Chains A and B, each alone.
Chain A
Amino acid sequence: DTAVSQTPKYLVTQMGNDKSIKCEQNLGHDTMYWYKQDSKKFLKIMFSYNNKELIINETVPNRFSPKSPDKAHLNLHINSLELGDSAVYFCASSRTSSGPSSYEQYFGPGTRLTVT
């Protein structure tokens, strides 16, 4: 199936640990994003990569480091996890072009991170 996939779906870990979330898209898109959804359902962009180049870097602690090995993958590594990092993290992708489809972002199913 063509889609945006994320692994793992659920991640439970203790404070201070380091963890990674992986994202892959097979839609042929060239731009990928990470969003954070907090416990009140509020969604906020964290990062965006276009052709492996960082183009959006919102005010996010530097414990969060995105890595894009190629256009189809955007992973999120989090160091020294804190309680406040508990949230659902969504990966998304889009195509950069002049057509109307370029502004459509396709979202993955999310990764629910729980820090205890």
Chain B
Amino acid sequence: AQSVTQLDSQVPVFEEAPVELRCNYSSSVSVYLFWYVQYPNQGLQLLLKYLSGSTLVKGINGFEAEFNKSQTSFHLRKPSVHISDTAEYFCAVSLKAAGNKLTFGGGTRVLVKP
């Protein structure tokens, strides 16, 4: 069975500073990788995904993530955050098999301070 670990439950960061959210996964088979964002009292929105190909993936709102197979990681970065980036961020994996079941990490709360 696959699992996802987000190493930081909370990340405070000042506005215009860079941020990195860490995500590690474990799986005995190949996976697809995702980052979702959840703004307060809202549903989840897809930020970016890695299916295959280039290991550096660019997403919406200036976010990017890098897939590292040897380290089984998929860390999310943004070079300069805005107040509006305050949200909960979830890393998720799904197996390259039937079902397309997403397994989520525990989430990282990003609090952007002015």
Contact = CB atoms under 8 A, between A and B. Distances in A.
Interface in A34-49: 35, 40-45, 48
Contacts of A40: 106
Contacts of B99: 48, 55-56
Contact of B101 (A4, A48, A90, A109): A48
A70 interface: no
Contacts of A106: 46
B100 A102 contact: yes
**Secondary structure class of chain B's binding surface, majority of residues:** strand
Interface size class of chain A, counting residues whose CB lies under 8 Å from the partner chain: 20 to 34
B100 A48 contact: yes
**Secondary structure class of chain A's binding surface, majority of residues:** strand
Interface size class of chain B, counting residues whose CB lies under 8 Å from the partner chain: 20 to 34
Contacts of B49: 100, 103-104
B46 to A, nearest CB: 6
Given A42-B106, A48-B100, A56-B99, A104 B43 contact: no
Interface of B: 32, 34, 36, 38, 42-46, 49, 51, 88, 90, 94, 98-104, 106-107, 109
Interface of A: 4, 31, 33, 35, 40-45, 48, 55-56, 90, 92, 94, 96, 100, 102-110
